[in-house]
Chains A and B, each alone.
Chain A
Amino acid sequence: MAVSVKADGLCKSFGDVTAVDDVSFHVKKGEFFGFLGPNGAGKTTTIRMLTGLITPDSGRATIEGIDSRKDPLHAKMKMGVIPEFGNIYVDLTAEENLYLAGKFYGMSKVEREKRTSEILEILQLKGREKDKVRTFSKGMKQRVNIGCAIIHEPPVLFLDEPTSGLDVQSRRLVVRIVKELKEKGSTIFLTTHNIQEANELCERVGIIHKGKLVAIDRPERLRNTFDKTQSVEVSLEGDFDGSDMCNEHVNKVLRSGDKMIIYTDDPDVTVKELVTYARDKDVKIVSLRTCGPSLEEAFLRLTGDKR
């Protein structure tokens, strides 16, 4: 098995606060790996250590077999980075930003021009390439940001919360571009707190909480670990707060808009009880569906949040 990204006992403290505590994992070549965690869990610190932006207190990170601490420049040549707080130069045009990135990666003028033209096409920025980036929307800026990270066609791409704050259209475009890169064989390392995104895109996810890696597996298997988190979503006419449904099978009942979500060990029993309840009380069932365990629930349980 070829390994693309490897973290080996990474540790980082800021004063008395341990941000990352002995984190080890590997990402296979061509894999789409998600790194999840609540805000402040240590995701960004981990990605910044992997990409050589900050120095770990201890531990080792390698990119395509190159130690990112001992040989940071060659490690950086192998990767493209879209940092969470990274931006592009708003005083330059989209084209100038891409040229600048190409120059930093040592690309020749011919290569830069060819690749810039291709990227502007992919990013749907043709026609706006001569405009200063300060006139762009957030989504367009993020597309240029991605362009700067992929101009040299890196084998590994790090994305730190790439769709955060984007409109739906820009988000879809970003997701499509990342998926295409993955199909072309790039290894993708995505940090996010958007569980839906991780679920949709990633082949494996690692979950970090309070600086420690608490789980690492395929999203499906993480979900199945928590079979108690299956639920029944129901909408009944009239007042129904779910309190009548509390019994040994039901773990909790939550309101979600005009629906109630009943978390249960046994959806079959709960559905039958709901039907009986509706018949007895003579209320109409507007909608009823069973839901499997969600990655969100797995995530919340793993990170100790039992909301």
Chain B
Amino acid sequence: MKHSEFFRGVLVTAEKDIKIYYKKPPVIIFGLLFPLFMFLAFYMGRKIELALFFPGFLAMTLFFTSSSVGPLVTPWERQAGTYERLLSYPVDIKVVLMGDILAGSLFGIMISMVVLAVSWLFIPLQIVNLPLLVLTTLLGALAFSTLGVLLASPATAAPSSIMMLSSLIRFPLIFVSGIFIPLYDMEGVMRSLTYLSPLTYLVDLFHAGIGGNNVLPMAAASVALLLFSAVFFLLSVKIHQRNMIKGM
């Protein structure tokens, strides 16, 4: 496949996702309202300094928004009968998945940037490394939109089943990723467990960019996010290829 054909397929798929799926209720509920409610649930009534909690909140926002588009697209298309039509176009499954990842990433980046910009006006954020903040947003958006696409890979035509699965996997991650309990306060098994969550690396990198209170080396955390993205993507491709062999 030529590069031009590859990029064309990715961009057209993403454009289609943006036009159709950004406005779907599950994306708005799981992508926008959930992180806000989670923030309110943990912040309201507790004596937490908002500036310290903000990197975790920003990471949670990026996590939920980026991973909310992917789980919807493929099951919705299967249910609506558009999936076969899409695959009949001159695109392969990798191109379609990358288009879905791009759409999810852009949604996450857009919402997170709005949250960051608005918060910056009202909260005394100490941004110590703006380029790192931008890079982290890109890496986080990539990792979690790819996670969203992976969650949508099982062959089902019921979006509700995938949304349930996605909630089942996404919610526990926010409790073991240093959002509510800082990484430096965790010890033993809990600390080891946090390293299994890709969200940990995003939270820590945001701490590096805002306030400079990171625990992990920045390069290692960035590489970890890239590795998670690559693993999620390869798994998604494998599952979709297996579905095609099984005729699902």
Which residues of A line the B interface, CB within 8 A?
A: 12, 14, 19, 45, 48, 51-55, 72-74, 76-77, 81, 83, 85-92, 96, 100-101, 103-106, 145, 148-149
Q: Does B1 contact A (CB under 8 A)?
A: yes
B88–A145 CB distance below 8 A: no
- Measured in the bound complex, the distance between the Cα atoms of B19 and A96 in whole Å is 10
A89–B90 CB distance below 8 A: no
CB nearest to B13 among chain A residues: A104
- Measured in the bound complex, the distance between the Cα atoms of B5 and A53 in whole Å is 19
> What interface size band does chain B fall in?
20 to 34
Chain A residues with CB under 8 Å of B9's CB are: 104
A91–B20 CB distance below 8 A: yes
Pick the contact of B88: A14, A19, A53 (CB < 8 A): A53
Other contacts beyond A83-B85, A103-B8, A106-B90: 13, CB < 8 A: A14-B247, A53-B84, A55-B245, A73-B1, A76-B90, A86-B84, A86-B88, A88-B85, A89-B16, A89-B80, A89-B82, A91-B20, A100-B15
CB nearest to A71 among chain B residues: B1
Assuming A55-B245, A73-B92, A85-B81, is B19 touching A92 (CB within 8 A)? yes
Task: Give the Cβ gap from A7 to chain B, nearest Cβ, in Å.
Answer: 17
- Would you list 28 pairs from A and B whose C-beta atoms are within 8 A, ordered by A residue? A12-B247, A19-B247, A51-B88, A52-B87, A53-B244, A54-B245, A55-B245, A72-B90, A73-B90, A73-B91, A74-B90, A76-B88, A76-B89, A77-B90, A83-B84, A86-B84, A86-B88, A87-B82, A88-B85, A89-B82, A91-B20, A96-B19, A100-B12, A103-B12, A106-B8, A106-B90, A145-B85, A149-B88
Chain A residues with CB under 8 Å of B241's CB are: 55
- Measured in the bound complex, the distance between the Cα atoms of B88 and A81 in whole Å is 6
Pick the contact of B20: A77, A92, A103, A106 (CB < 8 A): A92
- Measured in the bound complex, the distance between the Cα atoms of B245 and A19 in whole Å is 13
Chain A residues with CB under 8 Å of B244's CB are: 53-55
- Measured in the bound complex, the distance between the Cα atoms of B89 and A149 in whole Å is 9
Chain B residues with CB under 8 Å of A87's CB are: 80-82, 85
A104–B90 CB distance below 8 A: yes
- Measured in the bound complex, the distance between the Cα atoms of B8 and A55 in whole Å is 24
CB nearest to A74 among chain B residues: B90
Assuming A12-B247, A53-B244, A104-B89, is B82 touching A88 (CB within 8 A)? yes
A90–B88 CB distance below 8 A: no
Task: Give the Cβ gap from A40 to chain B, nearest Cβ, in Å.
Answer: 13
- Measured in the bound complex, the distance between the Cα atoms of B247 and A14 in whole Å is 8
- Measured in the bound complex, the distance between the Cα atoms of B80 and A90 in whole Å is 9
CB nearest to B12 among chain A residues: A103
B246–A14 CB distance below 8 A: yes
List which B80-120 residues lie within 8 A (CB) of chain A: 80-82, 84-85, 87-92
